[in-house]
Amino acid sequence: MVKRIYITTAIPYVNAAPHIGFALEAVQADCLARFYRAIGYDVYFSTGTDENSLKNVQAAEAEGIPVQKLVDKYAKQFEHLKGALNLSWDVFIRTSNQTHFVGAQKLWSLCNKDIYKKKYRGLYCVGCELFYSPGELIDGKCPEHQTIPEEVEEENYFFALSKYQEYLEKLIATDKLRITPISRKNEVLSFIKRGLEDFSISRSVARSRGWGVPVPGDQSQVQYVWFDALTNYLTALGFGNDETLYKKYWADSPRSTPGVSLVTSRHTPGVNKDRVTRLHVIGKGIIRFHAIYWPAMLASAGLPLPNEEFVHGYITVEGQKISKSLGNVIDPFELTEKFEVDPVRYFLLREIPAWGDGDFSIIRFKELYNGELANGLGNLVARVARLCADVNLNLPSKKNFKFKKVVSDNLKNFRFDLALLSLWDDISSLDKKINEEKPWELEGKTLKKAISPIAQQIREVAFNLSPFLPETSEKIIEHFTGTVKQQAPLFPRLH
């Protein structure tokens, strides 16, 4: 039976244009989707936009336009990332669509036994769409946005998260829900052990300006953004509507509810009791919602849980947090237009530590481009192609390419950077081999015999690069199939 994997990114707010931080997540998820397709998995890859937040309402008010017009404008820009970054997603979910409303209301109804209404006063950060307790603030400010939360008092619906304390702790401690890297797993367990509190899952129509998913049976309330937004992972598959994809990529596995015994062994995608792997790729700032709120909601509803969550870090720009006020937002469209898509993908996957934070600067980008793409891969391919052309080397097409174990293992553990470093070791070894053997001093059959295995190895490297640099990989394999000719540089040097 063909193994299946459902890969999702988080869905960003559409109160502004996309920046390089989301580009990182999108490229990481795309790299995984391409890898799993290449090894024979049935892959479904989802991304989209979070359109029902108060943040979007306020952005629309600031621009003096209707909320729908604002979310339409920015959602279109996020959709255009598919071409700009050569992404291969299968579906783009927008949470302002009515089909999403139906699915979000269905999940609410399934969780009804754990939902109750009460009056509440709390400190609310609009940026996080989250109520904070005073103890969670740093110098009175939101730890994520460094802003002072507003005090909000109203009657909301709450979800009984506290009921799931023991269940969630066991779920994560036993890796039934595997969180990578382990530092993020420990962070979640630490948060759970401090004691879970019930959380607000709605807000008043007055405060939300009437924008959002209506609460079933109560037209005075709309769903709080996280309850609504997290449901996108189901509604992207048709949950609540045509559920064909939902049944194939989410529900085709045992339900995971409190009281069910939890698997105690660590696992990798495809090596578990479920028939489909459900993988979320998310940033560290939203781990609480995905690793605590979301599993509890699904358990309450009696639905299967995700079994993998990869948590990446943040990108800073020349050492500073990305901020519109600082004017250091990096536009991924401008970047790919100026430097082409594969060099941008390479920087994000190679330079940004897969399990931590990383920094972007144009100086470092050009260093990597010239040093590893132009002088490394590009120079090697050009040298070998020239020698092949000298003897009219003809290479038959090859279909049974395989990923190196080190590449495969690192991708299954979300170590994009280490996988690429291993491939650049191969590139360096081939360069060294050529320098030592000096095939340019040979002629005729002797040269052909010497250069043929090197050309074959280049094709293997190119195939292994296919999840990371799909265009470059395709160019190299195509060029080294049939009669090999000299070619223009893959990566012209930057100045």
The answer as to whether 93 is a domain residue is: no
Q: What pLDDT score was predicted for residue 256?
A: 47
DSSP 403-434: --HHHHHHHHTT-HHHHHHHHHHHHHHHHHHH
pLDDT of 482 reads 95
SS3 state of residue 492: coil
In a domain, 377, yes or no: yes
* Inside any domain, residue 386: yes
Q: Tokens standing for 50?
A: 């979070």
Nearest residue to 8 via CA among 332, 310, 247, 288: 310
What is the C-alpha separation between 162 and 70, in angstroms, rounded? 37
Percent of the chain topping pLDDT 90: 77
Whether 430 contacts 376, CB under 8 Å: no
Which element (helix H / strand E) includes 283? strand 276-283
Across-strand partners of 119?
155
What region, left, alpha or beta, does residue 163 occupy, with left being phi > 0 and alpha being psi -120 to 50 degrees? alpha
**For residue 186, how far is the Cα from the chain centroid?**
21
Our CA angle for 96, 99, 100, nearest 5°, is 55
**Residue 267, pLDDT score:** 37
Of 49, 18, 16, nearest to 334 by C-alpha is 18
Mean pLDDT, rounded, of the chain: 91
- Inform me whether the pLDDT recorded for 148 exceeds 80: yes
Asked which of 140-149, 235-244, 298-307 is least confident by mean pLDDT, the reply is: 140-149
Q: What is the reported pLDDT for 142?
A: 79
Q: Which residue has the higher pLDDT, 493 or 253?
A: 493
pLDDT in tens, 361-419: 999 999 999 999 999 999 999 999 999 999 999 999 987 899 999 999 999 999 999 99
pLDDT at 70: 93
Long-range contacts of 201-207 (CB under 8 A, 24+ apart): 201/108, 201/115, 201/156, 201/157, 201/158, 201/159, 201/226, 201/227, 202/156, 202/157, 202/227, 203/54, 203/154, 203/156, 204/154, 204/155, 204/156, 207/54, 207/152, 207/154
Q: What is the pLDDT of residues 173-201, one digit of tens each?
A: 999 999 999 999 999 999 999 999 999 99
pLDDT of residue 259: 44
Residue 441 located in a structural domain: yes
Closest Cα partner for 348 from 69, 76, 53, 30? 30
75 touches 12 (CB < 8 A):
no
Q: Is the pLDDT of residue 224 over 90?
A: no
CA distance 344 to 349: 9
Nearby residues of 20 by Cβ (< 8 Å), 6 or more positions away: 315, 317, 322, 329, 330, 331, 332, 335, 348, 360
Burial class (CB in 10 A: 0-12, 13-18, 19+), 99: middle
**Which region among 38-47, 143-152, 217-226 has the lowest average model confidence (pLDDT)?**
143-152
Question: Would 399 be classed as within a structural domain?
Answer: yes
Question: Residue 450's domain is classified under what CATH number?
Answer: 1.10.730.10
Phi then psi for residue 11, to 5 deg, are -110, 120
Question: Coil, strand or helix: which one is 128?
Answer: coil
Write out the residue range of the structural domain in which residue 415 sits.
362-495
Residue 355 lies inside a defined structural domain of this protein = no
pLDDT > 70 in the chain, percent:
93
How many helices (H) and strands (E) the chain has is answered by 20, 18
Number of structural domains the chain divides into:
1
The tokens 């998913």 sit on which residue? 213
Extended beta strands in 82-180, E state? 91-94, 115-125, 130-132, 150-159, 178-180
Inside any domain, residue 491: yes
**Inter-residue contact 362 to 52 (CB < 8 Å):** no
Give residue 469's pLDDT: 98
pLDDT tens sequence across 410-458:
999 999 999 999 999 999 999 999 999 999 999 999 999 999 999 999 9
Please tell me the least confidently modeled range out of 181-190, 209-218, 249-258: 249-258
- What is the per-residue pLDDT across 30-85, written as a single tens digit (0 to 9) for each? 999 999 999 999 999 999 999 998 888 888 988 999 999 999 999 999 999 999 99
Domain membership flag for residue 53: no
Beta bridge partners of 44: 6
pLDDT value of residue 266: 35
Sequence-distant (6+) residues with CB within 8 A of 125 are 132, 142, 144, 145, 147, 149
Tell me, what amino acid is at 248? K
Residue type for position 219: Q
Give residue 150's pLDDT. Answer: 81
Rounded distance between C-alpha atoms, residue 36 and residue 28, angstroms? 13
